[in-house]
Each structure stands twice: as C-alpha cells, then as structure tokens.
Amino acid sequence: MLARFAAVIIACVVVCVSAAKAQEVDRIAAVVNDEIISIHDLEARLKLALVMSGFTDNLENRRRAVPQVLRKMVDERLQLQEATRLKVTVSADEVNRSIRGVEQQNRMPPGGLMAMLSKNGVDTDAARDQVRADLSWMKVTSRVLQSNIKVGEDEINEQLDSLRQMLGRPEYLLAEIFLSVDSPSQEDEARRLGERLLDQLKAGAPFQALARQFSQTGSAAGGGMVGWMVDTNLDDDIKAAVTPLHKGDVTPLIRTSSGFNIIAVVDKRVAGEGLSNDETLTVMQVFFPNPVGNATPREQLAAKAAELTAPLKNCSEFEELSRKLNSAKSSRAANVRKSDLPGSVQAVVANLPVNKASAPTDGDDGLTVFMVCSRTGLGSEAGLPSREVIRRKIEEERMDLQGKRYLRDLRRAAFVDFRL
C-alpha cells in the first residue's frame, strides 16, 4: 500500500513539474502589436547569441544579454510586420544563400554553420528567423526609400571637391557594434553589455559575430562593416578613439549621443596613396562547387566550367548562367577599386579584357570564373573614386540614415509591452 501511495505521489510531482516547465515556456516575454515573443522564443535566440558570440552560457552572461537580445527581437518583429504589410517576402533559397555567405566569411564548409549550432544545442530555426528578418528589412527599405533618394550632379561635384582636399589624410576601414540607449534606465545595462563584449573580443571572439547578434544598427546584418572613412568625416569622439589605433585594434567603449559604440579598425591607409594606376571595375564571378565527396577530378570540373563560360559574350549572359546554377558564391561587385579587391582576384582581373571569361581558378571548395563588365581608369583624377561610386556611397549613407528613422517611427507607432 505504501509503495503504491509513493508511486502516486512521485507521478503527481512529475506531472506538476512538467506542467510548470510548460507554463514557463509559454510565458510571454514581450507583446509587439498583435504578436507575442514567448519565453521559448527568447531562450532560443539567447542561446544563439551566446554561441555565436563565444559567451559562456551562464547566469551572469544571460542576465546581461537578455535586454539587448529582446530589444533586437522586438525590432525584428516590427520589421517583419512591416514586410507583411507591404507584401514583401523572402524565399528559403534567399535565406540559404545568406547563411552560405556567413559560412564563407568564417571559412566553414557548406552546412557547417547549422551543424555547429545544432551541436551546441541551438534551435537552427532561430538562426534562420534572424536571417529572414535582416533580408526582409533590406527589401522593405529598398522598396520604400530607394525611389525617394536622389543624388544631384552638384552633390557629386561637392563630394569630389571634398575628396580632393582629403587626399593624403588617414583613411580607416571600420566596423562597428552599436548599443542604443533610448532612456536613462537603459544606460547601465547597455554599458555592462558593452564591457562584456569587449572582454569577449579580447578573448578572441569574432567581431562580426558579436555585431550580428548585438549591434542595433543597419550594419549589423553585414557583420558591422561601415566601410572606408577619412578621419575628417568621423565624429569627434570616434575620431579621438580611432586615430591612435593600428590595423586590427578595437576601441574602448565610446559613449555617443545615442548610445555606446565599439569600433574595430579593420585596415588603414592614406587616402589616394598609391592609386595613380588604380581602376574602377565592375566584376562578376560564377562559382562551381566541388561535388559532394569530390568524386569529380579537378580537371573535369575545370573543363566543364570553361565549357559553360568561354562562349559568353557579356555580363548579362554571365549573370544568367549564375542564376541557372543557383550557386551561393556567384556574385557581382559593382564599381569597386581594383586595389580594394582581394589580392587573388586582382591577379586574375588585372589584364582580363572586358566581357571575356577568365580561366577557372582554384578556391577552397570549388572553382571560380571571373568576368570584367566595365573598367574605368582614374586618369587625371588619380586617387579619387568614379562619379558612380560617389553616387552609390551617398545613396547608401542616406538609405542607412532613413532606415534608422523608419524603424524609429515604427517603434513609436507600435504597441510594445515588455513582460520581463
């Protein structure tokens, strides 16, 4: 009788504990208009952020990361809701291509990122949801804002005049992590997280991974990359922190008017130095991956790549082939300085005639064929970008600024209720 009674008690305890856990998972972390973010959603995303950032999964790191992770999730819900309103969709193929791009940046084999996340107990749907939100917002801002951004010839002339005066000045290739502070109550939590991120960077955590998970600006989707900046174009606080640094260094935590910044100096140079023989190129590449198991010899793969690309007469045909192949590493780089291309690519395109396919070149996991779509020498304007490059840069800067305002307006108009 006692044994049977004990068994009943144990069964009741198990059921009660299981019910409590289920209730905890179903609790609401935040309400965003008519959608909820559950504790389960937050837990999955928090685990992703910790693993991708190299944080140890402990109570202290979770406590510090939760506010920023939840705020980023709220922003993503607002972005996805706006995408739904505008009937903007992102396909599974687009998500997969973006994930493959992250793998390539981190020298991972195809499928390596999701395998690594699964091994570390991360729900891979959380990673796909984050990528889908980033891609959706890029499409939304492009559709809504692009048509309103007009760059006049006078603006380009002014920019060229400014750049001429900047030749010979220090120029920095920068990446950023930005933690916004919208109210005094967020000051301490943002500072503590920023200090913890700096600790992780010192311990060897990848800057791009931290930026993707925690940065709250448009550059986050690209790993925080800002681009080349001349010192005179930097805010005073950031300029003072960046100027004494060397390539590969990271600033301390910088308090600006809107939050905290961590800036990485990816590279540095003197503006215009050594560019007298530089060119502005538009280059396409088509990637032929090694078959699974590398069953096909390299010579056969190269012959097939040459067979498909050699007859192509222009970049339109080249682009059509890349679409048919649906290769994640096929891409187009428009109006870039030859000197800004990787050294291995420069070697291939330096003397490649326009609209002629290169010979297949070896890569980590396949072969790549290049084609130069256009080539513009700088001539008397040595060291200066082309007018088209300047136009695109102004457009990108305005898109970034207007995108921040767009998201700010969505926040202000939304009903957001934090339950934690």
356-370 average pLDDT score? 85
104-115 average pLDDT score? 83
With cut-offs at 50, 70 and 90, classify the pLDDT of residue 45: very high
On the 0-12 / 13-18 / 19+ scale of CB atoms within 10 A, 23 is exposed
> Which DSSP helix (H) or strand (E) runs through 220?
none
Q: What is the pLDDT of residue 6?
A: 41
More confident residue, 301 or 242: 242
Which amino acid, one-letter code, is at 150?
A: K
| Residue indicated by tokens 């961590």 | 262
More confident residue, 331 or 25: 331
Mean pLDDT of the residues in the chain = 82
How far apart (Å, rounded) are the C-alpha atoms in residues 80 and 90? 10
- Mind listing the pLDDT tens digit for each residue in 194-207? 898 898 888 888 88
Residue 380 reports pLDDT greater than 50? no
| Lowest mean per-residue pLDDT among 27-36, 77-86, 92-101, 253-262 | 92-101
What the block records as the tokens of 380 is 């008397």
| Residue indicated by tokens 């609790």 | 27
Which amino acid, one-letter code, is at 125?
A: D
Residue 15 reports pLDDT greater than 80? no
125-136 average pLDDT score? 92
| Lowest mean per-residue pLDDT among 198-207, 286-295, 315-324 | 286-295
With cut-offs at 50, 70 and 90, classify the pLDDT of residue 336: confident
Q: What is the pLDDT of residue 8?
A: 40
346-353 average pLDDT score? 87
- Mind listing the pLDDT tens digit for each residue in 237-289? 899 999 999 999 999 999 988 889 999 999 988 876 655 556 778 888 988 87
Q: What is the pLDDT of residue 414?
A: 93
Based on its alpha-carbon atoms, the radius of gyration of the chain, rounded to whole angstroms, reads 25
Q: What is the pLDDT of residue 4?
A: 44
Neighbouring CB atoms inside 10 A of 176's CB total 21
Q: What is the pLDDT of residue 19?
A: 42
The pLDDT > 70 percentage for the chain reads 87
Q: What is the pLDDT of residue 20?
A: 44
Residue 291 reports pLDDT greater than 80? no
Q: What is the pLDDT of residue 277?
A: 57
> Which DSSP helix (H) or strand (E) runs through 210?
helix 207-214
Q: What is the pLDDT of residue 3?
A: 43
Residue 135 reports pLDDT greater than 50? yes
Q: What is the pLDDT of residue 382?
A: 52
How far CA 83 is from CA of 36, 144, 226, 376, 412, in Å, comes to 17, 10, 25, 38, 17
| Lowest mean per-residue pLDDT among 54-63, 172-181, 320-329 | 320-329
With cut-offs at 50, 70 and 90, classify the pLDDT of residue 36: very high
Q: Is 235 helix (H, G, I), strand (E, B) or coil?
A: coil
Sign of CA pseudo-dihedral 306, 307, 308, 312: positive
378-384 average pLDDT score? 51
Q: What is the pLDDT of residue 126?
A: 92
More confident residue, 302 or 14: 302
